[in-house]
Amino acid sequence: MLLAVVQPWPEGKQPTDAVLMERILQRDTGALEALYDRYGRLVYSLVLRIAQHPSSAEEIVQDVFLQVWRSADRFQISRGPLEPWLFTMARNRALDFLRLKREKQRRREDSDSDIVPSAVVRPDPEGDIDQGRRAEKIRALMTSLPETQRRAIELAFFEGMSHSEIAAATGEPLGTVKSWIRGGLLRLRESLGEASS
């Protein structure tokens, strides 16, 4: 397969995610480099947090960006922005790795749960809100949560645990775990609402 020849974007102007994905569809490797420069660090941070193993995290990140390159045609900007699509794919792949590792440890062959990324909708147009501002909000929110509540949300997001699995892992009653998570998510919603206002 030959790489397509595409025009570079004007100097000083940062292309939107949609433009980069369009360029990737045209087999423009420079667009993938730009996409990696934009999201590589975030995706690596997320995957490393889940996989807890640098070399495995590198493999997963490589796999994620290769998947973006190969499956760019499956991304539709009309169905939502790129960032959550990328994060969801990275999270699912890292959780998949984690589950596989646990399965091997338990010597079980049961398959894991759904790893198909679903459509996401962001309430505001792409690029309207500064990514860094949202990241700061999220980090500030997590820091402000009580330790037990933060731990419960981390177990859910970074380790893919359900309510009852978190209850078993923390030794807390199921109702308490549900209450922590519900409260934490409510504050997340409020925080992101403030960030977008």
Partner 1 sequence: MNCEQLAALYEEYALGVLEGEERAELEAHLAKSGDKCVAGVAEARWMVSQLAHAAPDTQPPAALRGRIMDAVKTSADPARAVVPLEKPKSSTQGAIFPAWAWVAAAALALITGYTIRQMNNQNDQLAQLRKEMKLATLQNQALQNQLDMDRMVAMVMMSPDSTPLKLMPKDKNMPMVHAYLHPHMGVAITADQMPSIPSARTLQLWFVPKNGKPVSAAIFHADALGQIAFVAPVTLPRNEIAALAVTDEPAGGSPQPTTPIAWMAQVN
- Residues within window 82-111 making contact with partner 1, judged by CB under 8 A: 83-84, 87-88, 90-91, 111
**Choice between 15 and 42, CB closer to partner 1:** 42
**Choice between 79 and 102, CB closer to partner 1:** 79
Q: Among residue numbers 42 through 81, which ones bind partner 1 (CB under 8 A)?
A: 42, 44-46, 48-50, 54, 58, 61-63, 65-67, 69-70, 73-74, 76, 78-81
5 lies in the binding site for partner 1 (CB under 8 A): no
Compute how many residues bind partner 1; rule: CB under 8 A.
78
b/e per residue, 28-66, with b = 16+ CB within 10 A? beebbebbbebbeeebbebbbebbeeeebbeebbebbbe
CA separation for the pair 83, 158 (Å, rounded): 17
Q: Among residue numbers 120 through 149, which ones bind partner 1 (CB under 8 A)?
A: 120-123, 134-135, 138-139, 142
3 lies in the binding site for partner 1 (CB under 8 A): yes
The one-letter amino acid code at 24 reads I
CA dihedral 121, 122, 125, 126 (to 10 degrees): -100
**Choice between 16 and 187, CB closer to partner 1:** 187
161 lies in the binding site for partner 1 (CB under 8 A): yes
| CB of residue 187 to partner 1, shortest distance in Å | 11
9 lies in the binding site for partner 1 (CB under 8 A): no
- Compute φ and ψ for 66, nearest 5 degrees: -65, -35
Q: Are 60 and 90 in contact (CB under 8 A)?
A: yes
Our measurement of the distance from residue 43's CA atom to the centroid of its chain's CA atoms, rounded to an integer in Å, reads: 7
117 lies in the binding site for partner 1 (CB under 8 A): yes
Return the DSSP state at 123: S
| CB of residue 179 to partner 1, shortest distance in Å | 11
- Close Cβ partners of 182 (under 8 Å, ≥ 6 residues apart): none
